Amino acid sequence: MKNAWQRHRKRVFNGLRILVSIVLIVLIVRSVDLATLWNVLQSADPWYLTAALVVSMLGVAVRAVRWQILLRDQAVPASLGELTVLWFISFLFTNLLPSGIGGDAIKAYELSRSTGQSAQVVSTVLVDRFMGLFALQVIALVALFFSWWLIPAQIAIFTVVIFGISLLVAWLISAKPLWDGLARRLPLFARLLAVRPVHALVSSLQSYSSGALVRAFGVGVSFNILLIAMNVLLGYALRIDLPLAYYLIFVPITSVVLIVPISFAGLGVREGAYVYLFTQAGTAQAVALSLSLLVYVIGTVAPGVVGGVAYLLRSANSYRVVEES
């Protein structure tokens, strides 16, 4: 009787997953202003758009490599193929959840469910996100050093401040003596750290080997070069004529801003950031807005559609296995 109930529950759950996947794909497509998008695409060079799409998809696979490096360091088994699929699926949910990190929760949930190592998986997702942003800030800082005269002062200052905050966060997380000292002096903090899931997560965050972090950073730089290349190709598609330095600095700033959970899939925030930054470099407002829309479609919606199909197939396979058991 119990097994029959469990099979029924699994059938219902997997059926709901299929339904949710279909609904999310429809909502993603509907979230785009098709009329505006069509006008933008009509004026854009299709060859550069295609090249940007290829680079975007390649970037997802590179992200999976970075995640696998961190997972192996935490002794969490996962194939590169499975991680790539989870990254695509995360884009499906990123399109509808607040900020640019909503998909991270989905990745963590799906992999935790299959491995049973929740603390380690959540830790790798957090570190993976941080390493990606930190690599972007390093790229921006190097670009700023060699082309500071091109960048408005307020944007240059913001870039340096964000890099400094990133270093501070990295030090605070890794400073185990600091955490031990706070636990001795603050009983409430000590009780919080004593909670098993919290303790497991903190221990995982502080246990990465330097080799794994260096490799993850290197792969992160590779991915972010692809991310910036995608933006440059889309700029070419719109016939934007700007020095590379602007992209090297503006794309990292936009990525940081998108973390703030104030919109769905970063819509509105992304557009505002692109318009503000690129008009500072002399780009027309309409063109800057078009660039942001293309970045959204090529860099987020397109992988999300692929993720929706992957999620649908995974759910259908799970549903079939339950039916056959």
**Residue pair 148/249 in contact by the 8 Å Cβ criterion:** no
Return the pLDDT at 38: 67
Mean pLDDT for the stretch of residues 127-136 = 89
Question: What would the pLDDT profile of 257-288 be if each residue is shown by its tens digit?
Answer: 877 666 666 667 788 888 889 988 888 777 88
Is residue 238 over pLDDT 50?
Answer: yes
Residue 95 binned pLDDT confidence (cut-offs 50, 70, 90): confident
The pLDDT score that the predictor gives to residue 8 is 54
Instruction: Note the pTM of the prediction, 2 decimals.
Output: 0.81
Structure confidence at residue 235 (pLDDT):
95
If one compares 239 and 325, the residue with the highest pLDDT of the two is 239
Share of the chain above pLDDT 70, in %: 80
- Note the pLDDT of residue 271: 80
Q: What is the pLDDT of residue 322?
A: 44
Q: What's the rounded Cα separation, in Å, for the pair 234 and 47?
A: 10
State yes or no: pLDDT of 142 exceeds 70.
yes
Give domain limits for the chain.
2-324
Q: Give the pLDDT of residue 2.
A: 47
pLDDT tens across 171-230, in order? Answer: 888 888 888 888 888 888 788 877 877 778 888 888 889 899 999 999 999 999 999 999
